[in-house]
């Protein structure tokens, strides 16, 4: 065997060794991110977390979610919106990034490209303006769902603003939101991201002496109807989704609040 051949073999072995080492490091880093996502963060109030029908709950620093792999989006995103979280600070919008904490693999943002749909935030960036890190964390692909632009910027945006109003008025609310991932749905992109036909938002104010709940169910289209016309019972949303929204509540309180469709205790001024 010539020296040239030996050197060539050594070079190949070195390259293979470097590639294998990098691959092992990449795998270790990926598993570490997934493991971190399974850890409940300090700011997460697990008392208000819903059940997961998918078995895949991810905890980020400022919101939690249950990821549905068949639909390539969260079945719910849950977070607390405190009065102290509200801010008018405007941060530069970052690029969307794949959520590497999703062990089954979160959808790529390219699925939305030229789809005709917005990357609709479930936990809005506007609810996380109290720090740049919290704001930028909402730009993960696990936190978006395909939304028609007129809906996203119209009635859905109106509801998001009303939630901020209630967070200020009631000194904080807990929010759970997502699309109804059932029935015949269009899909977009190579990964077939489902386009929900309806979106929901469930809120609980548990800070007062008299806790109250409210749920909204909206067809995926813009509307000029007043928000209170979209109010439904939490039980109704549970029946549609299969999710138990407040399993840790006392059963008597839970059953009473979730069965109610009343909205008189919530200010719609």
**Domain of residue 166, CATH code:** 3.40.570.10
Residue 23: the pLDDT is 46
Classify 39 as helix, strand or coil. Answer: coil
In a domain? residue 150 = yes
Are 12 and 94 in the same domain? no
Q: Tell me the C-alpha distance between 148 and 152, whole Å.
A: 6
pTM: 0.87
pLDDT by residue, tens only, the chain of 269 residues: 565 565 555 555 565 555 554 444 455 565 566 767 678 777 788 889 999 999 999 999 999 999 999 999 999 999 999 999 999 999 999 999 999 999 999 999 999 999 999 999 999 999 999 999 999 999 999 999 999 999 999 999 999 999 999 999 999 999 999 999 999 999 999 999 999 999 999 999 988 788 999 999 999 999 999 999 999 999 999 999 999 999 999 888 889 988 888 888 898 87
Q: Among positive and negative, which fits the CA dihedral 119, 186, 158, 267? A: negative
Are 226 and 103 in the same domain? yes
Query: How many domains is the chain built from?
Result: 2
In a domain? residue 265 = no
Are 149 and 22 in the same domain? no
Are 127 and 169 in the same domain? yes
Cβ contacts of 17 within 8 Å, gap of 6 or more: none
CB of 121 within 8 A of CB of 201? no
In a domain? residue 127 = yes
In a domain? residue 268 = no
Are 102 and 178 in the same domain? yes
Q: Which domain holds residue 49?
A: 43-259
CB of 119 within 8 A of CB of 193? no
Residue 21: the pLDDT is 46
Are 98 and 196 in the same domain? yes
Are 122 and 7 in the same domain? no
In a domain? residue 267 = no
Are 56 and 29 in the same domain? no
Are 52 and 22 in the same domain? no
CB of 189 within 8 A of CB of 114? no
C-alpha separations of 103 from 29, 122, 123, 133, 143 in Å: 12, 20, 20, 22, 15
Q: Tell me the C-alpha distance between 59 and 65, whole Å.
A: 7
In a domain? residue 199 = yes
């Amino acid at each position: 065997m010539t020296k040239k051949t030996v050197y060539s073999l050594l070079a190949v072995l070195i390259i293979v060794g470097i590639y294998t080492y990098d691959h092992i490091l990449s795998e270790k880093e990926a598993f570490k991110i997934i493991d971190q996502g399974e850890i409940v963060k300090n700011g997460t109030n697990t008392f208000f977390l819903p059940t997961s029908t998918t078995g895949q709950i991810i905890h980020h620093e400022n919101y939690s979610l249950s990821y549905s792999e068949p639909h390539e989006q969260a079945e719910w995103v849950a977070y607390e919106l405190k009065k102290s979280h509200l801010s008018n600070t405007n941060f530069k919008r970052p690029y969307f990034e794949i959520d590497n904490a999703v062990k089954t693999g979160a959808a790529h943002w390219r699925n939305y490209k030229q789809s005709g749909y917005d990357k609709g935030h479930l936990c809005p960036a506007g609810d996380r303006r109290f720090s740049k890190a919290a704001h930028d964390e909402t730009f993960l692909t696990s936190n978006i769902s395909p939304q028609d632009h007129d809906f996203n910027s119209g009635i859905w945006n109106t509801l998001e603003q009303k939630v901020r109003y209630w967070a200020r008025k009631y000194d904080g609310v807990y929010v759970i939101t997502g699309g109804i991932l059932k029935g015949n749905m269009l899909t977009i992109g190579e990964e077939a991201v489902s386009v929900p036909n309806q979106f929901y938002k469930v809120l609980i104010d548990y800070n007062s002496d008299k806790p109250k709940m409210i749920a909204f169910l909206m067809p995926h289209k813009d509307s000029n109807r007043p928000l209170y016309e979209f109010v439904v019972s939490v039980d109704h949303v549970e029946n549609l989704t299969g999710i138990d929204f407040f399993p840790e509540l006392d059963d008597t309180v839970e059953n009473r609040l979730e069965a109610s469709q009343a909205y008189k205790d919530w200010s719609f001024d």
